[in-house]
Amino acid sequence: MSQSPWQPISPPKPVRPAREPLTRDRIVDAAMRVLLEQGYEAVSMRKIAQVLGTGPASLYAHVANKRELDQLLIDRAAQDMKLPEVADPARWQEQLKDAMREVLRVMRAYPGVARAAIGQVPLGEQAILSTERVLAILKAGKVPDQAAAWAVDLIMLYVTAVAFEESVQGGAQWTPEEIEGYVAEMRAFFEGLPADRFPLTVALAGALTSGANHDDRVEFALTVLTAGLASLAEPA
């Protein structure tokens, strides 16, 4: 029977677009966006669920907890690390410095990842591959096994700490003029200390407060680390 002419015609029901399935990659994508836009402290399972338009419980089918999410964020950043695939015994010290610079470059490109990395051992595939390549450089330089194992931990810890410190200072949003003023105040403070009790601090006040550019201090640290490891290398 045809519809009565007196019955209003119902508008067609809107067709809802199919919801994109939730995956681990989508969760990490969303977490990385929050990390870069709002900082590490904003990253939580509840926040990521809100960004994805779902409930927190649905995330746990793909990511066990916040600690695993941190591991995934570290591994995502590690994908961008361009480390030498072949270690060169003749250039191992320069390769090691380049590797440390590259890890720091990536940490700086993903502010907040350093905070996720501090206090835990990165266990993702890409992170372990980065460790493997640094170990290969150290072994190409004939650094003993135990020294190489501890060195790769020391290197990653130092670089991560530098990136974390920079992210904290960047959060303060100081202008270059404010930084220069703060350094000048610190130098004046050191110079004003009692010289009979702190003779070296007073004498080296200028040196202690130099290198506001982090890259100068980083290059110094790379030189010290590399030279120290070279001193441990086994004779050819």
Q: What does the pLDDT read at residue 185?
A: 94
Q: What mean pLDDT, rounded, does the chain reach?
A: 90
* Cβ pair 104, 83 in contact under 8 A: no
Q: How confident is the model at residue 107 (pLDDT cuts 50, 70, 90)?
A: very high
CA atoms within 13 A of residue 159's CA, in its CB half-sphere:
24
Domain ranges of the chain: 24-63, 81-232
Q: Is the pLDDT of residue 229 over 70?
A: yes
Q: How confident is the model at residue 176 (pLDDT cuts 50, 70, 90)?
A: confident
- Token couple for 114: 């350093």
Give the percent of the chain with pLDDT over 90: 73
Q: What does the pLDDT read at residue 133?
A: 97
* Cβ pair 173, 128 in contact under 8 A: no
- Token couple for 214: 């982090």
Q: How confident is the model at residue 179 (pLDDT cuts 50, 70, 90)?
A: confident
Give the percent of the chain with pLDDT over 70: 90
> 188 CB contacts (<8 Å, ≥6 apart)?
none
Q: Where are the alpha helices (DSSP H) in the chain?
A: 24-38, 45-52, 56-59, 66-78, 92-109, 113-117, 125-140, 145-171, 176-191, 199-203, 205-208, 214-232
For 59-68, letters b (16+ CB in 10 Å) and e give: beebbeeeee
- Mean pLDDT for 95-117 is 94
The C-alpha angle with vertex 218 and arms to 198 and 106, in degrees rounded to 5, equals 145
Q: How confident is the model at residue 19 (pLDDT cuts 50, 70, 90)?
A: low
pLDDT digits (tens, 9 = 90+) for 25-80: 999 999 999 999 999 999 999 999 999 999 989 999 999 999 999 999 999 999 99
CATH superfamily of 24-63: Homeodomain-like (1.10.10.60)
Greater confidence (175 vs 208) lies with 208
Q: How confident is the model at residue 5 (pLDDT cuts 50, 70, 90)?
A: low
Q: What does the pLDDT read at residue 34?
A: 95
Q: What does the pLDDT read at residue 6?
A: 55
The C-alpha angle with vertex 187 and arms to 181 and 192, in degrees rounded to 5, equals 125
- Mean pLDDT for 15-21 is 63
Separation between Cα atoms, residue 111 and residue 32, nearest integer Å: 10
Q: Is the pLDDT of residue 165 over 70?
A: yes
> 208 CB contacts (<8 Å, ≥6 apart)?
187, 190, 201
Q: Given this structure, which CATH class describes domain 81-232?
A: mainly alpha
